[in-house]
Amino acid sequence: MKDSNFLKEKNARSLWHPMAHPAASLKNPPTILTGASGVRICDLDGHEVVDAVGGLWNVNLGYSCQPVKDAITAQLGQLPYYSTFRGTTNDTVIELSEYLREFFAPDGLSRAFYTSGGSDSVESALRLARQYHKIRGENGRFKFLSLKKGYHGTHFGGASVNGNANFRTAYEPLMPGCYHIPAPYTYRTPFNETDPERLAQLCLAALEDEIGFQGAGTIAAMIMEPVLGAGGVIVPHPSFMAGVREICTRHGILLIADEVITAFGRTGSWTGSRHWGVRPDFACTAKAITNGYFPFGALMIGENVAEVFESDTTGKANIGHGYTYSGHPVGAAAALACMQETVRLDAPKNADLRGRELYEGLLALQHRHDLIGDVRGGAGLMCALELVSDRTTKASIDKNVIEKIQKITYEAGTMVRVSGNNIILSPPLVLNSSEVQIILSSLDAGFSQV
C-alpha cells in the first residue's frame, strides 16, 4: 500500500466523489478506509470504529460474512460472467430466481428482473410500468407519482420521481409527467398536523386530489419507499402505505415499492411492504441483496403484472430494456449466499430488537441535547436525528456544527452519516447490544463537545 501522505494528497486529485463538491474533497481529504471486520471499519490513521452507516444501508450482515465471500470466489472460478440477454442464462441465476420467488411469495411478487443496483432497479420498474399499460392498450398512462422527500436513485427517471431538490435542480429539466405528493413527515409539514394518523389521511387526500387533477387514465404508477430512508428516515403511520395501495388499485395505477433499503430485514420485517401488510405490483431491491459484496439488484414483479406480459401475443411485451450485468453469475452467487445467511440468522428479528434499543437511546439523548430537534425510528435498524439550531423555530443547524459532531462521534468510536440536517443511522443488522451502546455513547460525546 502507498504511504498515508501519498493517499491523502492524491485521492481527490484524480477522482470525483458522488454527492460531494470536488473542491471540498480536495481541501478536506475524506476518511480513507483500509479494512473492516464484523461491524467495524478501520481507517488509514488507525481508528477502528463501529460502522453505524452499515456501508451505505447495505452491509446488513457485517464485513466478515464468509459464506458470501466463499460463494463469490467459487463462482469466479466456475463462470465469472455471461450475459442473460435473450438466448443465454446461467445456472446460478436460475437458482437465485427460484429462491427469490419463494422469499417474495407473501408479497405477491414472483418474477425477478436483474440489475446492477438500486437506481437501475427503479429505472426498470418505471419502464416496465409504462410498458404494462401499453400492452393492455392504455397508451395514455405514462405519468408517475411519488412522495416529496422520497429518494429513488439518480438515473434521470429516478431523479424525476425523487423528492429532494438537492438531487434535481442541477440536472433539470427532468422527465415530464412526474408529480409529487406531500410526505407524511410530522416534524415539518405544510398541513400543520403533528398526529401521524391524521397526517397520513391528509397526505392520502392530497394523493387522491392529484389523481383527480391529472386524470387517473394518464398515470402509470406511484413509487414510494415503505419507510423513507435517505430523506431522513420518515416512518409513516401504519395506515399510510395501505391507503396508497387502496387508492392506486381503485384508479388502475401500479404501486412500485422502492425497497432498495427496506427489503431483507432492515425494518424488522422481511420486506418493508410486508411490514405494512401491503402487496405492491413491483418491488425495487438492491443493496443488502448482496450485502455490498458485489453490485447487484433485482426488480421483483407482481404475479398480476407478470401475467399481462406473459400472455401477450402481439409482441408488445418484448422487453427492450436490460443491462450487461443483468443476472451476473457472481452477483447471483453472492445474492443467493446472502439470502441464505439472512434467513439463517433471522436478521429482521435482531433488527427489531436492536432497533428498539437504539431508538430509545436516541430519544434519551434528545433530552440531554437541545440541538436534537427530532428523533425518528421505530421501524427496525433505521433511525435519524434531525438537528436544529433552535428547537422553537426549528431553524437549520450550521453545516460546520453538524460536521464537527460527526467528527467527534467518529473519534469516540462510531461512524455516522450526515445528510443535510440529519444524522442517519443504519448499522448492520447483526449488531449486538453493547455495540448499540457504543453508538449512543459516541454520539453523546459528539453532542457534548460541540
Site residues (CB under 6 A) for ligand PMP?
A: 117-119, 122, 151-153, 225, 229-230, 258, 260-261, 286
Cell of 165: 431538490
CA 410 and chain centroid, separation = 23
Closer Cβ to ligand PMP, 57 or 447, answer by number? 57
Shortest Cβ 5–ligand PMP spacing (Å): 31
Q: Which is nearer to ligand PMP, 18 or 77 (CB)?
A: 18
By the 8 A CB rule, do 337 and 71 touch?
yes
Residue 153 CB, nearest distance to ligand PMP (Å)?
3
CA atoms of 434 and 438, how far apart (whole Å): 6
State which residue, 117 or 331, has the beta carbon closest to ligand PMP.
117
Instruction: Yes or no: say if 155 and 122 are a contact pair by the CB < 8 Å rule.
Output: yes
CB of 122 to ligand PMP, least distance (A): 5
Measured from the CB atom, the residue of 6 and 156 that comes closer to ligand PMP is 156
Cell digits for 23?
473542491
Chain-centroid distance, C-alpha 41: 21
Question: At CA 157, angle to CA 153 and CA 160, rounded to 5?
Answer: 85
Helix axes 347-368, 433-448, angle to 10 degrees: 30
List the grid coordinates of 151: 429518494
Beta strands in 383-446 (DSSP E): 383-390, 395-396, 414-415, 417-419, 422-425
Nearer to ligand PMP, 252 or 322 (CB): 322
By beta carbon distance, the residue nearest ligand PMP is: 118
Q: Which is nearer to ligand PMP, 297 or 446 (CB)?
A: 297
Edge-to-edge, what's the strand order for the sheet holding 40-43? 33-37, 40-43, 48-51, 414-415
Q: How far is the CB of 30 from ligand PMP (least distance, A)?
A: 18
> In the bound complex, what is the minimum distance in angstroms from residue 295's beta carbon to ligand PMP?
8
- The least CB distance from residue 241 to ligand PMP, in Å, is 14
Residue 407 Cβ vs ligand PMP, minimum distance, rounded to whole Å: 23
For residue 254, give the nearest of 141, 118, 417 by alpha carbon.
141
Please, which residue, 119 or 164, has the CB nearer to ligand PMP?
A: 119
Taking the least distance from each CB to ligand PMP, the nearer of 429 and 440 is 429
Residue 248 burial (CB count, 10 A):
23
HSE-up of residue 154 (Cα within 13 Å, Cβ side) = 10
CB of 56 to ligand PMP, least distance (A): 6
How many other C-beta atoms lie within 10 A of the C-beta of residue 120?
A: 27
